[in-house]
Homo-oligomer: A and B are copies of this chain.
């Protein structure tokens, strides 16, 4: 589409915080091309037919069935969406990749994890960092599903601290091989993969190195038993042991000591795709829940008519809507940035790498937000089903169990929360995002006398957009003061970082929901967006409450006396509505629609 997008036009990663984004500049799910919509339908059909129809097999730990589904997905081309055409892939853009990941992932976390591990961390390190020979040799097989891939980073002693692994790679005397020794843990797809991306340390290198390792039991590779897990029961998860495993030197990925960078970049892509992988779950859970709630009667009333249930349905739909809005917004930013770089002469590989890296902050934000939203959504789903929600006969309990992993892998949510703020501060230091001048402006504003004029709010979202601008000030005020106070030691104040990241996350999601809705209201008419408008408002209201709490916590934990007073005053001013929304009415509006359509319908 926009192959001529200019660098300056695209918001850089993290800049959403300091720039106002125009609604025409965000991509929304309503902007899917015809091709994308066809892809979406095909994936939904596959998911319904091959996965959801056999849901119980996954719960019974039918690992072979997961593999068979992966094979079928390969036959249909779904494993190759992101793979360039020259390596047998469909070479579709980042948005399409997200879309497939989104709609293919909702049947069960077991398949979703197998799919994510294979197409993401199992394949991407080669497409992003491989040599031409490596790509020629391996990528077509992975793209077609002839081979499956797995990713061996974690070790018993090295989880969040991924660079601390003890697995070693030793160059053989003839200089032709590396001999790998070590123990990897929690390896998804281990049970049926043909290829491992393995990270190991050469000598006393500071950083680990990545290798492509073919799975061959005769070559010193043994697997542990399947782990018994809370959820994603039919996702193969095993330990992998390397005993003098010989890997040809030409199978090293990128350069020596570049493994940590590879690992982290693979995780960036992994994170935003994981967010996508939680979206359709939310939609389907909401749909199941509303169908049950309109049928189930207690006290001679469909439970869907009780305020308690209305509230749940509305919040479930709203969080799914906001998650979609933010995920596709970021996805398109990434896609545009890749295209921009390609247009500027970068190789596709280089462009993709840099494109995703640029939005690492958004990737972390999305990973945290959407993984928690799907957990809450499934939790409310269970509750709506009452006792039946606790039964394996309904799909709620598996959805709840499966959702739990998304908060742990691809970097725990704690790590991602701290990363999001940490990376932003780093970007500011490097001058990539100017936080300082807006932060200083906020400081000045705090000293000044606030205007008591009530602006004209007649336009759609006028007050909401003003509120979002104010919420950004809250972040700048809190984070700015914290940076001033603690300087480079800030990262040792984790509770503060966590509070700041909660603010950041809510701003991104709320803004994305508002912008998407504004864009759609402009083109399709406000009337057509009545419930979406209600969702954007409801999301924002909830976001404001979260931001109040986290802002408060931050401020009172590092500021005292007059400074504290001033900042609390600022917090109050920046989180105050002139016209509070009637949240009960908003929820009623949203739930009415979901009930009338008897499904998630946005």
Chain B: minimal CB distance from A482 (Å): 12
**Contact residue among B159, B160, B161, B311 (Cβ-Cβ distance under 8 Å from A495):** B311
The size class of the interface chain A forms with chain B is 35 or more
The segment from A7-15, A302-310, A346-354 found at the interface with B is A302-310
With an 8 A cutoff between CB atoms, is A393 at the interface?
Answer: yes
Whether A409 lies near B393 (C-beta < 8 A) is no
A311 CA to B494 CA in the complex, in Å?
A: 9
Query: Does any Cβ of B come within 8 Å of A589's Cβ?
Result: no
Complex: chain B residue closest to A298, CB-CB: B161
Interface 9-mer from A319-327, A446-454, A460-468, A577-585: A577-585
| Residue A390 at the chain B interface, CB threshold 8 Å | yes
Q: Are A161 and B299 in contact (CB under 8 A)?
A: yes
Contact A383 B412 (CB under 8 A): yes
A79: interface (CB < 8 Å): no
**Cβ–Cβ < 8 Å partners of A407 in chain B:** 383
Contact of A545 among B186, B497, B552 (CB under 8 A): B552
Contact A494 B307 (CB under 8 A): yes
> Which of these, B386, B405, B409, B497, contacts A160 with CB under 8 Å?
B386
In angstroms, how far is the closest chain B Cβ from the Cβ of A419? 12
CB-CB < 8 A to A556: which residues of B? 580-583
Contact present for A392 and B229 (CB under 8 Å)? yes
Q: Would A498 and B582 be within 8 Å (CB), given that A299-B161, A390-B230, A408-B390 are in contact? A: no
Contact check: which of B383, B405, B585 meets A414 at CB < 8 Å? B383
Which residue from chain B places its CB closest to the CB of A230 in the assembled complex?
B397
> What residues on B are CB-neighbors of A172 within 8 Å?
none
Q: Is the CB of A382 within 8 A of B409?
A: no
Does residue A391 face the partner (Cβ distance < 8 Å to B)? Answer: yes
Q: Does A529 sit at the interface, judged by CB under 8 A?
A: no
Q: How far is the CA of A157 from the CA of B299 in the complex (A)?
A: 10
B307 & A493 in contact (Cβ 8 Å cutoff): yes
B585 contacts A557, C-beta separation under 8 Å:
yes
26 contacts between A and B (CB under 8 A): A154-B387, A158-B298, A159-B387, A161-B298, A185-B387, A227-B391, A228-B393, A229-B392, A229-B397, A231-B390, A306-B414, A307-B492, A307-B498, A310-B494, A311-B498, A386-B412, A387-B408, A389-B408, A390-B404, A390-B408, A552-B580, A553-B583, A553-B584, A556-B582, A557-B585, A568-B580
Is B307 a contact partner of A392 (Cβ separation < 8 A)?
Answer: no
Known: A387-B186, A549-B545. A414 touches B308 (CB 8 A): yes
Decide: A229 and B391 in contact? CB cutoff 8 A. yes
Interface residues of A in 223-274 (CB under 8 A from B): 227-231
Contacts of A417 in B (CB 8 A): 308
Taking CB as reference atom, which chain B residue is nearest A397? B230
Q: Nearest-CB distance from A199 to chain B (Å)?
A: 16
Report Cα–Cα, A389/B14, bound state, in Å: 32
A401 proximal to B (CB < 8 A)? yes
Residues of chain A in range 279-311 having any CB-CB distance to chain B below 8 Å: 297-299, 306-311
Does A519 sit at the interface, judged by CB under 8 A? Answer: no
Report which residue of A307, A400, A545 has the largest number of chain B beta carbons within 10 angstroms of its beta carbon: A307
Cβ of A306: which chain B residues have Cβ within 8 Å of it? 414, 494
| Residue A587, interface by CB 8 Å | yes
Nearest chain B CB to A388 CB, angstrom units: 9
Asked if A564 lies at the interface with its beta carbon under 8 angstroms from chain B, I say yes
Report the minimal beta-carbon distance from A51 to chain B, rounded to whole angstroms. Answer: 20
Tell me, yes or no, whether A418 is within 8 Å of chain B by CB: yes
Chain B residues near A367 (CB, 8 Å)? none
Would you give the shortest CB distance from A460 to chain B, in whole angstroms? Answer: 20
